[in-house]
Amino acid sequence: MKSNTSDGSSVGAGFLRRRSALADSPKRRMAPSAMSYAFVGPYLLFTIAFGLGPALYALYLGFTKRDGSGFAGFANFTHVMKDFRFVPAVEHVGFFVGIWLVALIILVTFFSLLVHSIGANRVRTSLRTIYYLPGALAGASSVMLWLFLLDPTASPANFLLRAMGMDSFNQVVVPSHMPVIFAIIAFWAGAGGWIVIMYGALNNISQEIMEAARIDGAGPLQLALRIQIPMIRKWITYMVIMSLAAGVQLFVEPQFLSQATQGSIPNDYSLNQLAYQYAFKQNDFHGASAISLLLLIVALSLSAIFVARGGLFDKE
Amino acid sequence: MSTVANRTGTSLRASLTGWSVRGILGVVLLVSVLFFGVPLLWLVLATTKSGHALSVNNPFSIGTVHDFAFNWSQLFDFQDGAVGTWIKNSAIYSVGALVITLVISIPAGYALALTEFRFRRALLVVTLVVMLIPNTALVLPIFLELNVVHLIGSPLSVILPMSFYPFGVYLTYIYFSTSIPRDLLAAARMDGCSEFQVFTRVAMPLATPVIALVGFFNFVQNWNNFFLPFVMLPSSKGYPIQVGLTALLASTPSFNPSSAGAQSIQLPTLALATMVSVLPVLLVFLFSQRFLIRGMTAGGIKE
């Protein structure tokens, strides 16, 4: 799911900078020609095959009966929601996303401001690199690395784990610790990209405004609270929306931990894992579609709200 | 007199608080550097140690060339060279999807930005909405769809979905609609270029930066993709390295006690596997950092 950050985070810039992503001027655009269709045709084909098509097919499966005998109404949805694993999965994902978002909002803002306030150019650049590099390990590799870090027999931070009374891997990876652990992994791999983006946004605040505030007697704290944070608020909103959409999709992290703990973290821990179980262990594609649709609706609504209210970001 | 004394008093107190605030912030920065930096540093060092040294020695000591060579051979001997196959698969999937992505996205972005056709606006809106959806959201629906056409298990089942890359189209669209002077294209037409030649001879060479950017982002995302190949490729022969890591994990006694045996993997070997699995992306991150950061913060690159 974090693989999304590497490009997901970059998506916003265009929206936020341009007055509106859709408000391009029609002036002097060429008349329709065979070439336009030839250029856009393959992309249109892929959009249908791997964007709209699967969504529509999932919609079809989600609303038809499991025995293939016609329209099922919401039966598949109520069926999966009544599954004893459904509510826990929602709770797991909810706790994780909650912790992760709070950490992102507070710490990314804080560290962006802090790094931005450092005088020495070289220090600023090195700090950004150090924060940013873990992003290369998005997905499976970052979870793998954290399996080591959470194992007191190998971890370089084993003194911390022991200080918290955890002497073995099995004591660290108990189910109640999971939301925090997943949040830490996601934060470690993803926060740097956001810090870089916020840093860029801070750089774009006009020096005149900052100088005027300083002359009026504003200290660093007041500058941050009254000027810098309000001016990068749209980026923070953007980060929250993208992270929320990605976080709900949790899959790789619990999948690896479930394997590494021989199932003491269940393999239906998250909603996406539950959908996977429906499709591959129960051969219930209709149930799997129902869960996928629920997740897709969350992602789609967040994305649609963002696109539709793009104008919101224009009002500085 | 008293006011002067008072004033120096406050400024002294202010500078004292200033120093303690600085001190605290310095410590906070140090902690953050350790949090983000130590895991990677430790991972690199871990690949040079023996299993015994990893748990007994100082975590930041350097191992030996001999142990590194041992870990290397254990990794690449695993299941008769499975790791090599997985890396090759990763390369085929990532590069294959990258090429198709570029062939599809660049002309599409160009057409969206500079030409008019029916449903142009609708396609633009769909692009924007779909590109903000996490790529995991459509994996199961795509599986169900490809299952109908019996593509599951084929390399195409990962290459084709990865080649649908709306973000690349969006980046190209923004670039062509903001950074290419239309007079230049018009001049080329006056000089007798056909529409296709305008694209290949004028627009494409000017768009090299955005083509590279789309390529980078797409490659990184393809290489790190786990959920899609995990679902699409049931046979271990077809795994990319990211999915192969699960097989290595399953053969590591520390995380799976039932796996102790001839084919078992030691912790440092697993660390080496992790390192190898991210190496191409890590190199991209290290050596094109400025470029990537510019892409992340600019989006439209030039306004």
Q: How far apart are CA A182 and CA A64, in angstroms?
A: 35
Residues B169 and B110 in one domain: yes
Confidence of residue A14 (pLDDT cuts 50, 70, 90): very low
> Is B114 in Cβ contact with A30 (below 8 Å)?
yes
Q: Name which of A14, A130, A304 is nearest B174 (Cβ-Cβ).
A: A14
Minimal Cα–Cα distance from B30 to chain A, Å?
Answer: 10
> Is A39 in Cβ contact with B111 (below 8 Å)?
yes
What A174-180 contacts at long range (C-beta under 8 Å, 24+ apart), as own/partner pairs, is: A174/A264, A175/A264, A175/A265, A175/A266, A178/A92, A178/A96, A178/A254, A178/A257, A178/A265, A178/A269, A179/A92, A179/A95, A179/A96, A179/A98, A179/A99, A180/A99
In a domain, B61, yes or no: no
CATH class of domain segment(s) A3-21+84-313: mainly alpha
In a domain, B51, yes or no: no
pLDDT tens for each residue of B142-159: 998 999 999 999 999 999
Minimal Cα–Cα distance from B80 to chain A, Å?
Answer: 22
Host H or E run for residue A56: helix A53-62
3-state helix, strand and coil shares in percent for chain A, rounded to the nearest 5: 75, 0, 25
| Ordered per-residue pLDDT tens for chain B, 303 residues | 444 445 555 566 666 677 888 889 999 999 999 999 999 999 999 999 888 888 888 888 888 899 999 999 989 988 888 999 999 999 999 999 999 999 999 999 999 988 888 888 899 888 888 887 887 888 989 998 999 999 999 999 999 999 999 989 988 998 888 878 888 888 888 888 888 888 888 888 888 888 988 898 899 899 999 999 999 999 889 999 999 999 999 888 888 887 766 678 888 999 999 999 999 998 888 877 666 666 555 443 222
Tokens matching residue A224 = 């941050």
Interface test with A, best of B43, B133, B241, B287 (most A CBs within 10 A): B133
Q: Which residues contact B170 (CB under 8 A, 6 or more apart)?
A: A11, A14, A21, B109, B127, B128, B131
Q: Name which of B37, B217, B243 is nearest A7 (Cβ-Cβ).
A: B217
Q: Which residues contact B184 (CB under 8 A, 6 or more apart)?
A: B202
Q: How far apart are CA A62 and CA A71, in angstroms?
A: 9
Chain A positions touching B286 (Cβ under 8 A) are: 133
Buried b (16+ CB within 10 A) or exposed e, A63-75: bbeeeeeeebeeb
Residues B135 and B34 in one domain: no
In a domain, B21, yes or no: yes
> Is B167 in Cβ contact with A245 (below 8 Å)?
no
CA distances from B94 to A161, B91, B106, B211, B241 (A): 38, 5, 18, 16, 11
Residues B19 and B106 in one domain: no
Q: Which residues contact B105 (CB under 8 A, 6 or more apart)?
A: A43, B165, B168, B169, B172, B214
Nearest to A259 by CA among B254, B292, B138: B254
Q: Residue A275: exposed, middle, or buried by beta-carbon count in 10 A (0-12, 13-18, 19+)? A: buried
The residues pairing with B205 across neighbouring beta strands, listed in sequence order, are none
Confidence of residue A20 (pLDDT cuts 50, 70, 90): very low
Q: How far apart are CA A61 and CA B136, in angstroms?
A: 19
Residue in chain A closest to B248 (alpha carbons) equals A144
Residues B14 and B154 in one domain: no
Give chain B's domain count: 2
In a domain, B303, yes or no: no
Structural domain boundaries, residue B26: 1-38
Residues B92 and B2 in one domain: no
pLDDT tens for each residue of B166-197: 989 988 998 888 878 888 888 888 888 888 88
Tokens matching residue B50 = 């023996």
Residues B16 and B81 in one domain: no
Residue in chain A closest to B38 (alpha carbons) equals A156
In a domain, B57, yes or no: no
In a domain, B116, yes or no: yes
In a domain, B276, yes or no: yes
Kindly compute the dihedral angle of the four CA atoms of residues A142, A247, A303, B139, in this order, to the nearest 10 degrees. 70
> Is B136 in Cβ contact with A35 (below 8 Å)?
no
Q: How far apart are CA B216 and CA B210, in angstroms?
A: 10
Q: Name which of A35, A136, A292 is nearest B278 (Cβ-Cβ).
A: A136
Report the CATH number at residue B146.
Answer: 1.10.3720.10
Residues B79 and B31 in one domain: no
In a domain, B170, yes or no: yes
Confidence of residue A316 (pLDDT cuts 50, 70, 90): very low
Residues B96 and B193 in one domain: yes
Residues B3 and B85 in one domain: no
pLDDT tens for each residue of B51-69: 888 888 888 888 889 999 9
Q: Which residues contact A125 (CB under 8 A, 6 or more apart)?
A: none
